[in-house]
Structure 1
Amino acid sequence: MSSLPTSTPAAQGVDASGVAAFLDALEADPHLEPHSLMLLRHGQVVASGWWAPYAPDRLQLLYSLSKSFTATAAGFAVAEGLIRLDDPVISYFPEFEAEITDPRSRAMLVRHVASMASGHAEETLDRARALDRDELVRGFLLVPPDKDPGTVFAYNQPATYTLAAIVQRVTGERLTEYLRPRLFEPLGIGEAAWIADRRGRELGFSGLHATTDAIARLGELYLRGGVWQGERLLPESWVAEATRVQIAHETATVNGWADWQQGYGFQFWMARHGYRGDGAYGQFCVVLPEQDAVLAITSETVDMQRVLDLAWEHLLPAFGAGPLPGGGAADAALADRLARLALPPAEGKPVPAGRAEDWNTSFTPHGGTCADRPALTGIEVEPGGRVVLVDDGDRLEVRFGAGESGWTVVDEPVPVAVSGGWTDTETLALDMAFLETPHHLLVTCSLGDRTFTARWRTQPLHGGPLRRMRAPRSA
């Protein structure tokens, strides 16, 4: 994989102090944990950094930022004449023809599922799954739209799933297979992996694992109108249509967030500045045509609007019209800071003196399971820093206390970084960062009653046992 070209902020007209202020604001917000950042200006990387224990070559679960990659696959299929935007969706699934009788469902076009304008007034995922757990397209088409397709916006996972299913059906390939020679290889994107459903279809609406670098490259391709290093990959017309308002929002607000009120394209959100793909808990590909810039971010937060607010506040004023003279010292200070980014580890001490034998024991769950807790059945602790989580018949071994940064990383069977230790003679508290996702698992073991609690700081949206908290492996 070739590296993206790099430059100093000042040479590309970016005030390094503005980037530093953005970093300050990200790190100061208690409800926001940044994991990575790449900023491109005029096609050059002017700032990039990963907060240890996250790293540049680490795949990340992109959640709904996956949708923008799905749209790109659809753009290739349209260019190759395999899909037509004004075809009825049902025409690609003739096996459901007799069952789908609702006139609005039958009137739904490919462009409607591409733009979240299927006619449904709200998310249909649960209803579609209830109607057909094994074939989500059929379940989706059996949910009657509330209004005529093309007249109302609703963020709707089965719409994107259906678009992805059409691409996979007409190409005979999974999304990653189809995109490899058309997008990943030309852009220099290395490994990427997508969660598939029980039918073997890659989800489309979520589940793509890719690097921050891949996010930045996708943004740069769209910023350049579908051209990469002088070669046209995507039609300019597709990029223009995907990144303009296809459907407006009827409601005055979406989540109360201003940047979710600006309209929707083909699996891209319009924003107060530019447009973007984004995913749950703060995964962003922000494209700023007026500034000729791309911002790629991975993070963990429930307040995604806050990330954009901070970008508008600090980064937009940092973009100048031309090179900035005299920026050498600020550029050097920013580069040094970016090289040293790290998340603060959870505090903890070694096993209390004289208590090692007591702590060489097992723990059972305290209380019942709920949405923010994994269904762990046991935890085994060794006072030397080894912990085994017993989950769904699996034994996930992690370690803590051995890393110089305060984080101890294990890569198999699941990439996890662990910090923490004993907070007193009776309590062991650990922070486990699942490095190919945005999520942290907080574990506390109590010696007095030999019980533990484990809760997610932010709840994983795909669920399942801990062994699935990583990029899927190739078969």
Structure 2
Amino acid sequence: MHRRTVLKGLASALLGGSGGFAQTVPDPNNPLFHKLAAAYSAQNRGIALLVMVDGQTVFEDYPNGGSPTRAHELASGTKSFCGVMAVAAAQDGLLWLEEPLAQTLTEWQGHPWRSQINLRQLLHLTSGIPGGNLARPPTYRAALETPAEAPPDTRFSYGPIPFQIFGEVMRRKLKGDPLEYLTRRIFKPIGLEYAFWRRGPDGNPHLPSGARLTARSWARFGELVRQGGVWQGQRLIDEALLQKCFEPSKVNPLYGLTWWLGRPISPAQRSVIGRVGQELDTLASTPHLPDDLVIAAGAGEQRLYVSRKLKLVVVRQAEGIVESLAGRRTAFSDAAFLGLLLTGQG
């Protein structure tokens, strides 16, 4: 049976045979909508769905072999830790977002384009350095040696290389391991434990991908973001600095500092948003969704959605990372999923 037919049938059954929805205002607490979104996610290889509203878990579902204790790879969902780590480091006085990277990466001095790149441009993915192969993060050294292909702030290029460069910047600033800093500064204070984090042949942690977390652990990170950097009454991250993560670049209106932004864009802007951005672009034309939605997104449709206006954190995990990277993706749509979750309309 066709997926949409199944969903319509389920919707009708859940709403007593009404056959449709009059809901126009998002209702993240609606248990009927949760079931619709869960069914849609499960049909598209979903293994975990967790919904939190105002800090309370209101729904969990673990189909297709998932479980609350099963840690799953976030793929590029890992990238969004970098933006939060960067603003935390700025708060700690380790760096500043407009800092020329050549001050730390001295081998870049004298290069026409690389000497002009600052940290904000690197994490906006507008440095002019290519993103590289999504599935193969280079070593930190190899990333540093990647030549720029354009001046800063002229093109958007999504991929692992800029994040590995950021790892080397942090390693030199800290004179230590970036993941140890992230763990001490962010993860431990919020009680987040990762099951595994891939490292490269150089021994350094992969920052663009490779983190493996349970849905509940990833939701903790989302809740810290939703609360503007506060955890259980304690401020961990300056709110104004954290907000920098959700400001788009001049080049790509759907990408902040390592976070995707679910907001309307013009037709003229669609040519620069990248493949993931194209998948998320349909959110712009979806009615009744929050305009402050921010998203950590990974291959296989791993998702962390956060909206402060709706007091909402949603984690969605799924099988199929390898297939997705190879271009064999499911029919999962962010717009359809969130439409079902918040209004019952896919």
What TM-score, normalized to structure 1? 0.56
TM-aligned CA deviation for residue 13 of structure 1: 6.3
Structure-1 residue corresponding to 2:309:
290
Structure-1 residue corresponding to 2:81:
69
- SS across alignment from 2:332: helix
1:158 and 1:134, CA in 2 relative to 1: closer, same or farther beyond 3 A? Answer: closer
Structure-2 residue corresponding to 1:58:
70
Structure-1 residue corresponding to 2:182:
179
Q: 1:46 aligns with which of 35, 53, 58?
A: 58
2: CA distance, partners of 1:260 / 1:188: 33
Structure-1 residue corresponding to 2:120:
111
8 Å Cα contact 2:82-2:207 kept in structure 1: yes
- SS across alignment from 1:36: strand
1:36 and 1:92, CA in 2 relative to 1: closer, same or farther beyond 3 A? Answer: same
1:124 aligns with 2:132: yes
Q: 1:180-329 counterparts in 2 under 5 A? A: 180-249=183-252, 250-252=269-271, 254-255=274-275, 257-260=278-281, 274-301=293-320, 302=324, 303=329, 306-317=332-343
Higher deviation after alignment, 291-300 or 186-195: 186-195
- In structure 1, give the amino acid aligned to 2:131: E
TM-aligned CA deviation for residue 138 of structure 1: 2.5
8 Å Cα contact 1:118-1:145 kept in structure 2: no
Which stretches in structure 1 are left out of the alignment for 5+ residues? 1-11, 264-270, 320-475
- In structure 2, give the amino acid aligned to 1:259: L
8 Å Cα contact 1:112-1:118 kept in structure 2: yes
Q: 2:105 aligns with which of 82, 87, 93?
A: 93
Q: Which has the higher helix share?
A: 2
TM-aligned CA deviation for residue 73 of structure 1: 1.8
8 Å Cα contact 2:51-2:57 kept in structure 1: yes
Larger Rg: 1
Structure-2 residue corresponding to 1:138:
144
Pick 1 or 2: higher relative contact order, CA cutoff 8 A, min separation 6. Answer: 2
1: CA distance, partners of 2:28 / 2:142: 48
Which stretches in structure 2 are left out of the alignment for 5+ residues? 1-26, 253-268, 285-289
1: CA distance, partners of 2:229 / 2:330: 27
TM-aligned CA deviation for residue 251 of structure 1: 4.2
2: CA distance, partners of 1:49 / 1:312: 16
**Alignment RMSD, CA only?**
2.9
8 Å Cα contact 1:26-1:310 kept in structure 2: no
Q: Which runs of 4+ in 1 moved over 6 A?
A: none
State the Cα deviation string for residues 32-55 of structure 1 (Å, max 9, x = none): 200111100111100112225322
What TM-score, normalized to structure 2? 0.75
Q: Which has the higher strand share?
A: 1
8 Å Cα contact 1:134-1:198 kept in structure 2: no
8 Å Cα contact 1:133-1:139 kept in structure 2: no
- Percent of aligned positions that are identical: 22
1: CA distance, partners of 2:215 / 2:202: 29
1: CA distance, partners of 2:133 / 2:46: 29
1:191 and 1:274, CA in 2 relative to 1: closer, same or farther beyond 3 A? Answer: closer
Work out the number of aligned pairs and report it: 288
8 Å Cα contact 1:62-1:208 kept in structure 2: yes
